[in-house]
Chains A and B, each alone.
Chain A
């Protein structure tokens, strides 16, 4: 077994060495901001990037559609990660944030003016997500222990019950289905989702690899030490929630212009929050790119492989989805993509 591993790492080591000059160039250019790569990791990151950017030219309609949805969920999973994954204050209520943005857009169109420009609805909706985020974060993040998680959970339940109570404005259970979609062209639509996702991935990665990421991880590991270091842990916890709310708002806006409407089941119910967590956990919490990978993996599996290729029914698809998440939780606690990342590190040729 170990000799097979050795032989494999001789081959991969050589491959790593041949890619190293490219990786070195990358490291010199931006390594300080996003972390350094070896040759194999460079190949993974830029290979995936190339695949994602060219998907409409080689993928089927069903695959591209699944990847379009995955891009939005990747934004949710990464946004959840910068807050919950990094600080360890687990939010069970992130669908409230994307829901707030989506409902703001839909309610502005439905109640105020159907002709309202996206130049107005989009920023207002993202701001709404931020405001809701701060409303949750300010009172709850001063508490420690399980209270934060419980409050985020209750926030979803309240939001969900408020929708039918104000059905004249919210459309109740059926929601509002009069929101304009970005475009009906599936290829253009794909890039409408992918480009914001990539920008958010880069921004969050840079922040996560900075001092701020180090402080957020330290809050998770030992909050008392952070305060003893002269750093206001509460301020950073609230900041991480705000930092999470903004891309959640962006994702909510993308989703409402993808589906052309809002309803409580698609946007708010607590299942949606748990799915964001599942994607982040499956990919690898507190790594930003892990949750991105987790979202693509789970959604392409659920909406394309199990649907279009395997032709399974919805309950079967969801059972496999959650079964897989459970398996990762039990057997690969660090997450699939973090595991892959560390494997590439090990099979690389090492620093010359």
Chain B
């Protein structure tokens, strides 16, 4: 049984169909790319999975449970975590506090609890920001703010990590290092879906890619199949011509 099943998901905003009848499955232990030109609906799919948006139609099943109508915190507690495209740390708390928030129990009677300092250090160490725990988010360079976002997602102990444009704004050395980090996550048992509009860098990392264009699923396949597919090339070239 696959870990995540997206079945006929449609999301309309008024008259605009952002995602149209998209279905795909993710198996445990995979790293899958969800790719497509800018504005094709990739992030909307993530937002539907995380219940930021309610789906118009279709269903989302995670680990055998229908999570379509779950609320965001319930989706997170079932084992899914998303790293957004925009970083949004809490500016008034240091890195450690930002990570700690993601380990706190969802209980109004729990005064203590949450991760110990050692555990927070471990989460930070998995993305190499363990020496910045006392720094404030606005003191960090861009790449470290992105790493903090990933550390926060890790702190919820996810089985499946949704990464939205994780490489955006990074230089080549940082991209290579981060890709190696994602490989380590997979070895630790985390399944990963990565959204990116830039096909190039992603194709060495992913086992499979799913291509979305204008809200429709165009195709899915191995990186080679995808890059050689004329429809995919046309979708990307088409956008290039329009912009």
Contact = CB atoms under 8 A, between A and B. Distances in A.
B205 interface: no
Contacts of B113: 211
A337 B104 CA distance: 30
B58 interface: no
Interface stretch (B71-79, B189-197, B226-234): B71-79
Q: Which of B71, B81, B84, B102 has the most CB of A within 10 A?
A: B102
A211 B71 contact: no
Nearest to B76: A230
Interface string B111-126: 1111000000000000
Interface stretch (A19-27, A76-84, A133-141, A219-227): A219-227
Interface residues of B, number: 31
Contacts of A215: 101, 104
B91 interface: yes
Interface in A220-240: 221-222, 224-233, 235-236, 239
> B-side binding surface: helix, strand, loop or mixed?
loop
B112 A214 contact: no
B76 A227 contact: yes
Contacts of A217: 90, 92
A206 interface: yes
A207 B109 CA distance: 10
Contacts of A227: 71-73, 76
Nearest to B108: A239
Contacts of A236: 108
A111 to B, nearest CB: 35
Contact of A211 (B50, B73, B102, B105): B105
Contact of B156 (A221, A229, A235): A229
B108 A230 contact: no
Interface string A18-39: 0000000000000000000000
A207 B111 contact: yes
A225 B111 CA distance: 20
A218 interface: yes
Interface in B54-82: 71-73, 76-77, 81-82
Contacts of B239: none
B20 interface: no
Q: Which of A207, A228, A233 has the most CB of B within 10 A?
A: A228
Given A211-B110, A224-B88, 16 more contacts: A211-B104, A212-B108, A212-B110, A215-B104, A217-B92, A218-B93, A221-B90, A222-B90, A227-B72, A227-B76, A228-B50, A229-B152, A230-B156, A231-B101, A233-B73, A235-B108
Interface in A91-118: none
Contacts of B114: 211
Nearest to B90: A221
B10 interface: no
Interface of B: 50, 71-73, 76-77, 81-82, 84, 88-93, 97, 100-102, 104-106, 108, 110-114, 152, 155-156
Nearest to B106: A231
Contact of B77 (A218, A225, A230): A230
B82 A214 contact: no
Contacts, number: 77
21 contacts: A206-B111, A210-B111, A211-B105, A211-B114, A212-B108, A214-B97, A218-B93, A221-B92, A221-B93, A222-B89, A222-B90, A225-B89, A227-B71, A227-B72, A228-B50, A228-B82, A228-B102, A230-B73, A230-B156, A233-B73, A239-B108
A235 B100 CA distance: 19
Q: Which of B77, B89, B101 has the most CB of A within 10 A?
A: B101
A224 B84 CA distance: 11
A232 B76 CA distance: 10
Q: Which of B73, B91, B112 has the most CB of A within 10 A?
A: B73
A229 B76 contact: yes
Contact of A212 (B72, B100, B111): B111
A231 B90 contact: no
Interface in A185-221: 206-207, 210-212, 214-215, 217-218, 221
A214 B156 contact: no
Given A228-B82, A229-B104, A232-B73, A218 B90 contact: yes
A73 to B, nearest CB: 27
Contacts of A232: 71, 73, 106
Contacts of A211: 104-105, 110-114
A203 to B, nearest CB: 11
A211 B156 CA distance: 16
A224 B90 CA distance: 11
* Top-7 shortest CB links A-B: A230-B76, A210-B111, A227-B72, A229-B102, A221-B90, A239-B108, A230-B77
Nearest to A207: B111
B112 A229 contact: no
A214 B104 contact: yes
A233 B101 CA distance: 12
Contacts of A212: 108, 110-111
A214 B73 contact: no
A225 B90 contact: yes
Given A218-B90, A221-B90, A229 B111 contact: no
Nearest to A221: B90
A230 B71 CA distance: 10
Contacts of B89: 222, 225
Contacts of B84: 228
